[in-house]
Amino acid sequence: MTKTDLIDIVASEAELSRRAAGEIVELLLEEIKNALQKGDRVALTPFGSFVVRQRRAREGRNPKTGERIKIAARKVPAFVPGKGLKEAISGVRSTAARGKTRKTSRKKSSKKS
């Protein structure tokens, strides 16, 4: 799915023009980007969260020459899928979502006297 596909779906589902839907999608993406730039976490429950992770400085190699190079520390965006998204993808609902509780059985130790 591309951004254009997403805009078309929003436009048809919300009965909006493609232009209005495009502005909404752009605004949403811009706000997520702004929050991540500030170091905030963006949680879209139960879909998932966008977070910023800190990568440590490390030593790497230039693949062409084999020369050792220093790779600076940096921040990278990451996405952590939520429970609802994981369940939708796997097709399996958790036990708690089905309303059942997990039974735990403990074996009694048998002691001989």
List CB contacts of 55: < 8 A, sequence separation 6 or more.
Answer: 73, 74, 75, 76
pLDDT at 93: 73
Local structure of residue 98 (DSSP, 8 states): G
Tell me the pLDDT tens digit for each residue of 67-91: 999 999 999 999 999 999 999 999 8
pLDDT for 92 equals 79
CA separation for the pair 98, 90 (Å, rounded)? 15
pLDDT in tens, 31-51: 999 999 999 999 999 999 999
Look at residue 113 in the predicted model and tell me its pLDDT: 45
> What pLDDT does residue 103 have?
54
Q: Per-domain residue ranges for the chain?
A: 1-39
Residue 108, pLDDT above cutoff 80? no
Tell me the whole-structure pTM to 2 decimals.
Answer: 0.69
Place of tokens 């074996």: 107
As given in the structure block, the two tokens for residue 103 are 């039974």
**Considering the chain, what percentage of its residues have pLDDT values greater than 90?**
79
Which pair of tokens denotes residue 41? 């976490």
pLDDT exceeds 90 at position 61:
yes
